[in-house]
Amino acid sequence: MVRPNFPVRLGAAEEALINQLKFAGADQAAERITVAGLPTRRVESYHYTDLKTLLRAVPPMAQPANQVDVPALDLPGSYNLTIVNGVASQQGTAPAGVTVGTVRGGVLTTRDDTLIHINNGLVREAMSLDIAPGVDQIIQIARRIEGVAAHVADALKIFVADGATATIVETFTGSDAAHVGNHATYLALGKDAVVTHVTVDLSGRDTSHFATNEYHLADGAKLRTLIIHAGSDLARTHLYPRMAGQGAHADVTGLNLVSEGQHADITMETNHAVPNTSSQPLFKSITRGRSKAVVQGKLVVARDAQKTDAKFMHQGLMLSDDAEILSKPELEIYADDVVCGHGSTCGKLDEDSLFYLLSRGIPKAEAETMLVRGFIAELVDPIENEALAEALNGIIDTWLLAGK
């Protein structure tokens, strides 16, 4: 943690957070913010998302909401759970092999990260899910912030048993108010487990959405994630995949969709801790109007994690001249027998492809949409569940059409 030599001037947001943390008995987290304040661009992982500037106010902690209708993706046969204003509830009986429960306290591993400290400090009870082999329903967790502007910290801990297969979808929505959501997901994959984890931020524009996802992969586990930012004006998802067992593989993917005035950030730090693991992070950003998309991706390969195969890629597409795409791919490698790489590109739609379509009589708007869909296809296509892929394409289309 960066400790400045001079006292940090605390803003209203920081004062509010300190009080809320103290009230929750999280003195250490409160102390941390008192000393360092919210992270600024001087903190490497917040280099392009300076919370001290971006987060000016933090509303009071959320009160439990009355029964509300929580929107979720239309996925036939999915088993749906909700967390509204931090309160978890279960609808109907869980399918065989799924155990829903609670665990005390926060779920995230303590790290040098302010949002994690806040989440761990404020969460009293987290929802837990245990998934055994043989579950073929999609499990959907819809988190929502209801009512007047509120600060919510909630958490979810998921264990997918050895050899089990699971598709887990999380959505984030809320009423139209200046909420601050600080969401945590801890997902552990047992040996040879195969998991698809999709999260979609569809919160109202005034909401500031923060999510931290931690993944722990045992031997032979396979993970695919897709993080979509398509809602809040300020969205940040921080991913920590840990390849803890030999033969583990992760396809960590994400998509920033930002329009005029929005700021979305996907930051990833993958840790290859043991030999023979692989990961293929792939992120895309599409910007419209004056907006900002951030992707940071760090691959850390430990000293004895020989034979690691990791390729990070970020592609940015600018649909306007005045957007910003900021990218920081990092490699931190201590093992010598590895193949690691990263790539980052950004530019606008390929003029030649556009010309090709136009010359075949396709109207410009439609041609552009086709090309953008093609650009995104790489992320949605690998998702095997058709209904889920269709629902995600629907969200992307809605975003695309909103710009027309």
Of 16, 342, 376, 380, the one binding another protein (CB under 8 A) is 342
Rounded to a whole number of angstroms, the minimum distance from the CB of residue 309 to another protein is: 11
Pick the binder of another protein from 35, 100, 333, 354 (CB under 8 A): 333
Is residue 353 part of the contact set for another protein (CB under 8 A)? Answer: no
How many residues line the site for another protein (CB under 8 A)?
A: 38
From candidates 31, 50, 206, 324, binder to another protein by CB under 8 A: 324
Q: Does 336 bind another protein (CB under 8 A)?
A: yes
Q: Which of 33, 62, 323, 388 binds another protein (CB under 8 A)?
A: 323
Q: Contact between 400 and another protein (CB under 8 A)?
A: no
Scanning 170-178, 188-196, 314-322, 381-389 for contacts with another protein by CB under 8 A, the matching segment is: 314-322
Between CA 242 and CA 272 the distance in angstroms is: 6
What letters, b where the CB count within 10 A reaches 16 and e where it falls short, cover 3-33? eeeeebebbebbebbbebbeebebeebbebb
| Cβ distance to another protein smaller for residue 343 or 394 | 343
Going by C-alpha positions, the residue among 212, 266, 292, 216 that lies closest to residue 379 is 266
Of 247 and 329, nearer to another protein (C-beta) is 329
Tell which one of 22, 111, 328, 373 touches another protein (CB under 8 A).
Answer: 328
Amino acid at 234: L
Q: How far is the CB of 335 from another protein (least distance, A)?
A: 6
Alpha helices in 286-359 (DSSP H): 351-359
CA distance 265 to 200: 13
Residue 398 in contact with another protein, rule: CB under 8 A: no
Of 70, 338, 367, 380, which lies in the binding site for another protein, with binding defined by CB under 8 A? 338
CB-wise, 165 or 246, nearer to another protein?
246
How far is Cα of residue 12 from the mean position of the Cα atoms in its chain? 26
Dihedral angle computed from the Cα positions of residues 207, 2, 298 and 313, in that order, rounded to the nearest 10 degrees: 50
What is the rounded distance in angstroms from the CA atom of residue 319 to the CA atom of residue 20? 41
Hey, what's the torsion of the CAs at 53, 54, 60, 63, to 10 degrees? -160
Is 325 among the residues that bind another protein (CB under 8 A)? yes
Task: Tell me the C-alpha distance between 404 and 392, whole Å.
Answer: 19
Of 71, 134, 343, 363, the one binding another protein (CB under 8 A) is: 343
DSSP-assigned states of every residue in 358-385: HHTT--HHHHHHHHHHHHHHHHHTT---
Of 397, 392, 384, the residue nearest 200 (C-alpha) = 392
Contact indicator for 280, 308 with CB cutoff of 8 Å: no
261 near another protein (CB under 8 A): no
Does 327 help bind another protein (rule: CB under 8 A)?
yes
Residue of 105, 347, 363, 374 that binds another protein (CB under 8 A) = 347
Interactions with another protein, residue window 47-86 (CB under 8 A): 47-48
Helices (H), 114-264: 114-122
Tokens of 306: 């020989």
The terminus-to-terminus CA distance of the chain in angstroms comes to: 44
Footprint of another protein on residues 292-311 (CB under 8 A)?
303, 306
CB closer to another protein out of 4 and 105: 4
Residue 112 as a binder of another protein (CB under 8 A): the answer is no
Q: Is 318 in the site for another protein (CB under 8 A)?
A: yes
Nearer to another protein, 102 or 345 (CB): 345
How far apart are the C-alpha atoms of 287 and 259, rounded to whole Å? Answer: 6
- Distance (Å, whole) CA 87 – CA 67: 11
Per-residue interface string for the shown chain with another protein, residues 217-236, x marking contact by CB under 8 A: --------------------
Residues 11-50 that bind another protein (CB under 8 A): 44, 47-48
Q: Per rule CB under 8 A, is residue 5 in the interface with another protein? A: yes
- Here the tokens at position 37 are 């304040």
- How does DSSP assign 3-16, residue by residue? --SSPPPP-HHHHH
Q: At its nearest, how many Å lie between another protein and the CB of residue 287?
A: 8
Residue from 171, 329, 391, 400 that binds another protein (CB under 8 A)?
329
Q: Which one among 67, 92, 104, 321 touches another protein, defined by CB under 8 A?
A: 321
Nearest to 227 by CA among 211, 241, 207: 211
Interface residue list for another protein (CB under 8 A): 5, 44, 47-48, 303, 306, 316, 318-348
